Amino acid sequence: MGPKFLAAIAALLVSMPMFAAPPPLADFVRRPESGEIRISPAGQYVATTVPLASGKTALVVIDRQSMRITASLRGRAEDDIGDFVWVNDTRVVASMATRLGGRDRPVPTGELYGIDADGKRSTILFGLRAGENSTGTNIKQREGKRASAVLVSVLPDDDKRVLIASYAWGSRDGALPEYGLLDVYTGRFVSKGVVPLMNARIIADHSGEPRIAFTNDNDADLSRKIMIRSGKSSEWSPFIEAGSTNAILTPIAFARDNLHLYATLTDAKGADGLYRINTQDGSRKLLYQGDADPQMLIGTRDGKDYFAVVTADGVGSTHIFDAESPDARVLRALQASFKDQQVSISNFTRDGKNALVSVKSDRNPGDVYLFDVEKMAAEYISSPRSWIDPEQMAPTRPIQFKARDGLEINGFLTIPKDSDGRNLPLVVNPHGGPFGIRDEWSFDPEVQLLASRGYAVLRVNFRGSGGYGRAFMESGYRQWGGTMQDDLTDATRWAIEQGHADAKRICIYGASYGGYAALRGAVKEPDLYQCAIGYVGVYDLRLMHTRGDVPDSRYGKNFLLKTLGNDTDTLWANSPISQLDRLKAKVMLVAGGKDERAPPVHSERLHNELDKRKIEHVWLYKPNEGHGFYVEENNIEMYTKMLALLDETIGPGRPAK
């Protein structure tokens, strides 16, 4: 080989694109460095949740001037910080929660704690363990109470007490809420009354007075019940909404005048509408109705009213219904500053001059800024996942298609970065739930991990999902393995027809209900999927009525009856374990021994049946995990095995690192 040939090869190598190694697997598993973050009323401190080495979370307070941690609060080893609020310039009240697994939202323990911004007077304020002796923590103990508390409201003219609702223990079916004032320093509780409505959630007006209570009843219809008080001395009475029919009204918050109530109302066919309702005569005014349900109200700087609503249609939208609000200008300025991203305001300082702002997108897991309202300028504060480079992440776009019966279905398609989006190996990723849950346009570390290894990811808001109205959600009732599953099949075939997916390289993976859908898809459409991965899934529908925490209460039993049905033959026919003779896909099963939502008996029985039939499969069981893995090392092991199976069946995907 002569010099000219070598020079030509060198020139060719220089001109070839360089492919950077994907981020390590651990980057996608690693927990965010902070969670919820809120600025104190005077603006001197910020409080945020942070992960601990144990895998749980703590609350820390940071002085903005020195950037030093001045206080920290954590519960027992098994507890997370659930939520927290600034009661005054220097006092934080936090609730505790127990996480049952990586796929669960933490379940509130009903305990409330208080701490000063300088770390002093760290106190358990409410809960059974308030009566226990100290066990080595710095938390002073108070009188115990066999009840769970929920913070209802801070009080505008009282910086020493908050309004709470207390739910006594004793019945799995719940309790009547007792509401009253809790001293955030001493833990003294003064009862103000009881709502005659089981398990009701209470909404206070802007004076801190409990005014609205609502719940879904434990009856077979799970009907909505709403009660109202007109003033301090009045009794609770049924709330009558003018012109109400079979629609379901969901109260959200009071307007500034404490007369009108913001609420959503279900529509006969389409998405829910946002209304402003007169609580005296029940009359209502429509503020917004579109293609997706109202998701979150955006409040004014003084915290006494609302001027816009966020919906989760497509990439998400913000709709201003009070164009005269001066705060609309602030929102527009923020949106203009962070184009193509979702902007949300965590909270304002008391004077309304500064706000904590969160900025996110499909590729950006989130940045936090301090926004100066007068200067219209944003100062960068932090990024909870600072190790993630948005430029390395894959874009996600909304999709729409028609199901076989003509129903419009929405979803999201993530294409690997720098890919032309054609003939790719595809992972279909049904969400859990299934009812009322939905996928959204947002950063998803699991999706981004798969995309970083060369896989396209398809997420589908099949019928039964939330966000598209009551009728769409209820169309999935009693359709486990039926039309809900057909929507996933139709979505997969849509991806093939559009040229995005290689028909011979498709797997399906999901957790919880998604695990059920993955295995159900593999036996219902045996030629469509090359592998099926079920993570803490349900595989014998008959067990739903007898095992796990859902059938433990009357509400849960009626919910299952309404949404799943109880015909034994139908349940068995729609169970993946009953149709293993049709199985062609390679299988991976993942289970946690402490899973209360989808008990491990589901996975264990399916695992044993596969063994009996000598069907090779990947089996991963962790006895100390719950409904989803929480320990980082366990997650790394799971995703390593998952990527290996994907590479083996539908690769080439890049190997786990």
Encode pLDDT of 356-415 as tens digits.
999 999 999 999 999 999 999 999 999 999 999 999 999 999 999 999 999 999 999 999
In tens, the pLDDT along 274-295 reads 999 999 989 999 999 999 999 9
- pLDDT at residue 244 in the model: 58
pLDDT of residue 76 exceeding 60, the answer is yes
Q: Give me the DSSP letters along 127-184.
A: SGGGGSPP-SSSPBP----SEEEEEEEEETTEEEEEEEEEEESS-TT--PPEEEEEET
CA distance 190 to 328: 39
Q: Pick from 18, 17, 28: which is nearest to 389 by CA?
A: 28
| For range 170-184, the mean pLDDT | 92
CA distance 114 to 95: 9
Beta bridge partners of 534: 510, 589
Burial of 382 (0-12, 13-18, 19+ CB in 10 A): middle
- Location of structure tokens 């802007």: 206
Token couple for 28: 């996608």
Averaged pLDDT of the chain: 91
Q: Which residues contact 52 (CB under 8 A, 6 or more apart)?
A: 58, 74
In tens, the pLDDT along 550-589 reads 988 889 999 999 999 999 999 999 999 999 999 999 999 9
In tens, the pLDDT along 136-167 reads 344 444 566 789 999 999 999 999 999 999 99
In tens, the pLDDT along 13-69 reads 334 344 568 999 999 999 999 999 999 999 999 999 998 877 778 999 999 999 999
Amino acid identity of residue 610, one-letter, is L
Q: Pick from 352, 307, 363, 311: which is nearest to 331 by CA?
A: 307
- Delineate the domains of the chain, giving CATH numbers in brackets: 390-650 (3.40.50.1820)
In tens, the pLDDT along 490-507 reads 999 999 999 999 999 999
CA distance 415 to 483: 27
Residue 464 host element (H or E)? none
| For range 612-641, the mean pLDDT | 95
Residue 413 host element (H or E)? strand 408-414
Q: Pick from 602, 584, 581, 585: which is nearest to 593 by CA?
A: 602
For residues 101, 105, 109 and 111, what is the CA-based torsion angle, rounded to 10 degrees?
Answer: 130
Q: Give me the DSSP letters along 258-290.
A: SSEEEEEE--SSS--EEEEEETTT--EEEEEE-
The 3-state DSSP class for residue 43 equals coil
- pLDDT at residue 57 in the model: 87
Question: In this structure, what are the phi and psi dihedrals at residue 6, rounded to the nearest 5 degrees?
Answer: -65, -40
**ω into residue 41 within 30 of 0, thus cis?**
no
Q: Could you tell me the pLDDT band of residue 488, with boundaries at 50, 70 and 90? A: very high
Q: Which residues contact 497 (CB under 8 A, 6 or more apart)?
A: none
Residue pair 394/451 in contact (Cβ under 8 Å)? The answer is yes
Q: Could you tell me the pLDDT band of residue 98, with boundaries at 50, 70 and 90? A: confident
Amino acid identity of residue 188, one-letter, is R
| For range 188-205, the mean pLDDT | 95
Give the CA diameter of the chain: 99
pLDDT of residue 11 exceeding 70, the answer is no
For residue 190, count other CB atoms closer than 10 A to its CB. Answer: 9
The 3-state DSSP class for residue 120 equals coil
pLDDT of residue 181 exceeding 90, the answer is yes
For residue 366, count other CB atoms closer than 10 A to its CB. Answer: 21
Amino acid identity of residue 380, one-letter, is Y
The 3-state DSSP class for residue 641 equals helix
- pLDDT at residue 131 in the model: 61
CA distance 588 to 535: 8
In tens, the pLDDT along 238-258 reads 997 665 567 899 999 999 999
Residue pair 329/407 in contact (Cβ under 8 Å)? The answer is no
- pLDDT at residue 245 in the model: 64
Burial of 322 (0-12, 13-18, 19+ CB in 10 A): middle
Q: Give me the DSSP letters along 529-558.
A: -SEEEEES----GGGGGTSSSGGGSHHHHH
pLDDT of residue 345 exceeding 50, the answer is yes
- pLDDT at residue 243 in the model: 59
